[in-house]
Structure 1
């Protein structure tokens, strides 16, 4: 095939040469499009010598080569003719379009009240523990008496203290648990906490998670709660808290400075 400046029946243009070769090969535009992956509208425009839809000189040359190979003609003379007629020298290939990445904006984070409450509990327990430990050095006698009271409560045996009048005549200080808390109503759970020998921080909730109490108990303070199904406790400085559940004395809630989580239901423990 000769290359000329003006198309003629014997010397067709690039687009016409591709169209004639396609027809001669018995191929439809759709079949060529499926093989070359060049869209049908672009193929039809190229066969009319309209290369404006190719997206640039580089893409037009690539389309011409792919179509020529499929329809069975030598692509190089057609590419050379296209370059002579359409592409100026030293044309810079256009850069492929750049698409801005979609920015994903996160929703504002909601306050984490659970984490805030846990942090507050840890802070209060740490303060109470520091107060309990620090208070032990202010007076040897006071610290000894507090330790004796806690030990007696934990073991269930009455503590003995020396009378100022006679160092040889110890007197017993029994704990009266019979009248501390009334029997629990049938089908309910009743919990009483008493601060003995120190201060403690208490959080009490019912079976629905409703807060019943959240504060510090000073030495000698008490609180009582009743619920149909369940009472849950978080106790700071558990060694300073005496527990009475469903009419039964359970002794200290835990060790000194310890934080414990407890749950009680009707009949647990059984009334005693």
Structure 2
């Protein structure tokens, strides 16, 4: 018989309602119903689930420790099943990625082959058609230049006016060269303007450090804003700063110490005890 079924059967045999048990055990009726229906996700944290199971079972004269052990076994089986499903999912994803990679490589190789074929065709077309045309054009130009050179050899400069024309062109070229050099030098010597960057430093705030010395469930609220809810393992460290206060709900009072300005606070209770604390910034 499941945990929830045992609790419900024992309650009904004793003629008790959930409201009656709420008054006796100080556990809210909605959490008692969640235990009977095995809807453990409705209870805020693993530590609370175990505490509620034991308290509920002990009040009904059941073996609370035995039911807690059974709950641990159930959770361990669920964890192994989840790990198995995750491992199968990873294997399936790796298989899909491998198939996708093979397909991608095939497409890539096909593209390379197509490009090589196009390059070969282009090279053949260039050599057969364009290169022949270019050779013919070069030969024609060479023939024309040869005829011009023969004519030019026979020409002589007949007056000083033609010589002056060549000198003027040469002077203009030198002048252009000189102006270009001045422009380049002017550009290279342009001043570079420095830039100043200013930074505003934030003022330091008080830091509250949480040191987990034993596995525990925690709810952390900073300045009335919930920051964290869940399980922390031994050795984990959390640091927080704020403007008003830090509020803690600790499922295992012996599992947390606090350091404020070098001062150590806590632990505030015994192992498995639930406590609430507020610390000012």
With the length of structure 1 as denominator, give the TM-score of the two structures: 0.31
Q: Which has the higher helix share?
A: 2
Q: Which has the higher strand share?
A: 1
With the length of structure 2 as denominator, give the TM-score of the two structures: 0.30
